[in-house]
Amino acid sequence: MSVNFRGIPALVKLRNKGKSPVINPTETLMIREKGEDSQIEISGVTDEINSKITIKIGNRSRVKIEGIQTLNTRLIITLGDDCELLIKDGQKINGPLRINQFEASKVTIGKNGLFGPCQIWTSDFHSVIDNQTKNRINPPKDVVLGDHVWLGAEALILKGSTIGDDSVVAARSVVTKSYPSNSLIGGYPSRLLKSNISWDDKLLPYNLENW
């Protein structure tokens, strides 16, 4: 499903029927479109998953979703003007995933991610001002998640963060910086707990002698 919205009124819902998108207020995917020259491309999702996605998009912004394997709760996407969001295929979303891009920024989520209830922010939502210069000092920054990244329950990924492939972010962690691939990350604020790890979403046998 690939759709370009230009000047469509405030609230529409969309569902894929065959190869042609259908815009119909009674259908499933909720898209709140307030801007112009924005693009939404969605593929690799079922009608059931469509019904759990909400998108709000501003001017000159782009959302591209290449595939979601499971979505047990909701995916809530909010983009301001001049934003870009790329979600690659194979995602498993167990808890509500909120992606907030209120200012011009880019979020990239690699393939085969696993998400508990968590949030990704590219800005601070409000302005911090230097009293001497009167200039704002907290601009937005991009966020990048590599392939096969697991975000635990209530993890918060803040602006400027990069998480490498095959990494794990522990529950209730607050990530504010970059980590290489195969990292176990945790804490508030986060720190590197262990390097050279990988993960599997299946519960595998373990040996207590290794602990």
Q: Which residues are catalytic?
A: 126
Contact assessment for residue 88 and residue 110, using Cβ atoms and an 8 Å cutoff = yes
Give the integer Cα–Cα distance in Å for 66 and 78: 18
Sign for the CA dihedral angle at 27, 111, 195, 210 comes to positive
DSSP string, the chain: -EEEESS--SEEEEEEETTEEEE-TTSSEEEEE-SSSEEEEE-S--HHHHTTEEEEE-TT-EEEE--EEEESS-EEEEE-TT-EEEE-S-EEE-S-EEEEE-SS-EEEE-SS-EE-SEEEESS-SS--B-TTT--B------EEE-SS-EE-TT-EE-TT-EE-TT-EE-TT-EE-SEE-SS-EEEETTEEEEESS----SS-----GGG-
